Structures are given as C-alpha cells and as structure tokens.
Amino acid sequence: MNLFDVYPLNDIEIVKAAGSNVWDAEGQEYLDMYGGHAVISIGHTHPHYVKRITDQLHNLGFYSNSVKIPLQNALAEKLGQVSGKTDYQLFLCNSGAEANENALKLASFYNGRKKIIAFKGAFHGRTSLAVSATDNPKIIAPVNETDNVVFLPHNDVEALQNAFKEYGNEITAVIIEGIQGVGGIKEASIPFLQAIRSLCDEHNAVYIADSVQCGYGRTGHFYSHDYAGVSADVYTMAKGMGNGFPIGGISIAPKFQPWHGMLGTTFGGNHLACAAALAVLEVMEQEKLMENAQAVGKYLIDSLKEIEGIIEVRGRGLMIGIELPAEKAAVKKNLLFKQHIFTGEAKPNVIRLLPALSLTMQQADQFLENFKIALKG
C-alpha cells in the first residue's frame, strides 16, 4: 500500500528535536521558525512536557468520556486561569477543524439559525461545515457546498453592517480569525472586532473567535482577539494547545446551556491529551512565554521592517508575515536548503514565521542574519 499523495514534501527527514532546533537523518541542524504550522508552542521535547505525558502513560493511556476524567477538570481550571476566561466552559476535541465545526454547531443549537458570516481569506478547517466557511473553493467538495455561508470583505465594517441588515435574524454566527494565517498574516482591526461584538449582541448571533493558529499566547495575548477589548462567545483552539499531541477545544461563554449528547467525541479530552495540554499551560506560566513572545516578536517585526526589499511586514508577537516581491519567490526554499531554517508560506509570496513561544533573542538574530543572506539570493 502507498500513501495517498496529497502533501508536497521537502526531501528532509526530521529525526530529533529540542527547543527551537531540529535535526535531520544526516545530522544537519535546522532552526525551526515554523513549529510545524504553529503547533510547537513551548519548544520541542520540553522536559516537563515529556515527563507529564510519560508519567500519565505509565498509569493510563486512554479511557472514554463515559467515566470521570479529573485531568479534564484540571485542564479547564488551568485554561480558565491562564486565558482569563474563568467563567467559561470547556469542550475538548482533537483538532482545530473539529473545534470550529463544534463551535458552529453549538451556535446553531443556541439560536436555531443557519446562516454564517465568514470573511475573504479565511481558513477554518477541512471538515464539512468548517471547510464551507473557508475561502478556498478548490478544497470544498460538492457535498460541502452550502448557501448558508456568506463571505464578506475582511475588515469592512460597512459590509458587515449591511449583511446584518439584509439577513438580520437569519445569522447564527460570525466566525473570524484574530489574525488570518493561511490568508497571509492579516490582522482583524480593533473597530472590526468591536463591530462584530456589537452586531452579534444586537441580533443574538454568536461571535466565534477562531484562535486555532493565532491563539494560545502566540501574539502575547492568550487569544489574539483580546487586543480589541471585547470577549467572544466561543473561542476555538488546537495547534499550540498540545505542543504536538493532538488536542483541540472550544471555550464557551456561560450563556450557553449544555445538554447530554449535544456534542460528543471518542478521543477528545483523553488522558494523554490532557496531560500534554496541562504541561503546555504550566510551562507557559512558569517560563512567562506569552511575555517572551511579545518581546521577541516585537524585536523581529521592528528589525524586519528595516530590511530593504520587503513589501510589508505584518503580524503581532510570534505570528509574523513577510510579504516579498514576486522575484524573491525562492527565499523560502533558500532559507530551508541553504541557511537550514524552516519557515512557512502563504500564497502568493508571504513568508510565515510561527516559531515556539520560547524563541530566544539570539535565535531571532540568527534568523535575521540568514534572512538577509537569503533575500540577496
């Protein structure tokens, strides 16, 4: 049997990792400025993280949600404390797409409506409803097509107001990333997020803050949307939540009332996943990683803005987009194969930086020095 060939692969096999460095099968060391799509939040193979999971595995790896799992309660308490949403409720799943799928389903249960407002450039996942709210027709199969999703221009308050005038009480939810990742590191403006909050309140629609890539401390705020000074009704999360162990979740405002069977999952909130997620939050607190992300991110952004040959530098904290002219399309490839630095991209020509929140100033300087070399060709 062969693998189903859906991923374009770099001819590199990673066999070892520590902190913000990885090594391939030939022993070559790389600086990891991408963290496997923003997944590595506290650094590769952090000792506390490894011990947490190992200790749990020695006791119990899995049992289903048909029994009490105290680790889930401990995770909910710690997440509420670190995020500042102490009165919210937690539902655990396995991935970001599942988190967004469940958030949209929850919204529809709440107000009995069907229409969803999403935005140009959005990426919310690949499951049935999440992919319908994703602005990429190529990955929406015919079975996923629906008239229930309305795409609006990003950061256009007037278009949003007009949509609420047109659809009014048909709208179940507005879903938005605080900073679009796949869309090219584009930040939602403060007035725009505040308008979403106000219009959702006025029309009893649900404000869903997709924090799968942009959340979990990456911007210096726990949820990137927090910089707008308003609270969402539901926050979705995954990626950095487990530092590589699959886990996702939705943080749900107190106004939502659960009932048995409303949402469900086999693997969501399992013992190992909760141990991993607790380790992440503990390390984030102990090592002040949100503060580090803010400081090192600001340094990187400010430094990048001084480099000639860049069209624009966007982002916040350690979620950074570097837009390059078309003739510099080879920079990402050069960084990987010549400078040995992993980065990401967003089409058409944006370098995405999503490193561990523990990235040091020295490693930031290492990237900047090598980026200048790669930029020159």
Residue-wise pLDDT tens digits, 197-225: 999 999 999 999 999 999 999 999 999 99
Report the pLDDT averaged over residues 172-181: 98
CB-CB neighbours of 115 under 10 Å: 20
pLDDT 10s digits, 183-196? 999 999 999 999 99
The sign of the dihedral angle between the CA atoms of 141, 142, 144, 150 is: positive
**Alpha carbons 317 and 343: distance in angstroms, whole number:** 16
* CB-based contacts of 7, cutoff 8 Å, min separation 6: none
**Alpha carbons 148 and 78: distance in angstroms, whole number:** 36
Answer yes or no: is pLDDT of 301 > 80.
yes
Output the furthest CA–CA distance in the chain (Å, rounded).
Answer: 60
What is the pLDDT, as a whole number, of residue 347? 86
Report the pLDDT averaged over residues 275-299: 98
- Give how far Cα 190 sits from Cα of 194, 207, 224, 265, 377, Å: 6, 15, 11, 35, 38
pLDDT 10s digits, 302-346? 999 999 999 999 999 999 999 999 999 999 999 999 999 999 999
Type and span of the H or E element at 179: strand 179-180
Identity of the amino acid at 322 = I
pTM over 0.85: yes
Compute the mean pLDDT over every residue in the chain, rounded to the nearest whole number.
97
What is the pLDDT, as a whole number, of residue 376? 86
Measured between its terminal Cα atoms, the distance across the chain in Å is 41
Tokens, residue 54:
């190992």
Tell me which residue of 153, 159, 133 sits closest to 144, measured CA to CA: 133
Q: Which segment of 75-79, 106-110, 373-377 scores lowest on mean pLDDT?
A: 373-377
Report the pLDDT averaged over residues 79-95: 98
What is the pLDDT, as a whole number, of residue 245? 98
What is the pLDDT, as a whole number, of residue 30? 98
Report the pLDDT averaged over residues 253-280: 98
What is the DSSP pairing of strand 21-24 with strand 29-32? antiparallel
Report the pLDDT averaged over residues 236-254: 98
Answer yes or no: is pLDDT of 359 > 80.
yes
The answer to whether 52 and 74 are in contact (CB under 8 A) is no
Exposure class string for 297-319: b at 16+ Cβ within 10 A, else e: beebbebbeeeeebeebbbbbbb
Answer yes or no: is pLDDT of 377 > 80.
no
Report the pLDDT averaged over residues 76-91: 98
What is the pLDDT, as a whole number, of residue 168? 86
Report the pLDDT averaged over residues 7-12: 95
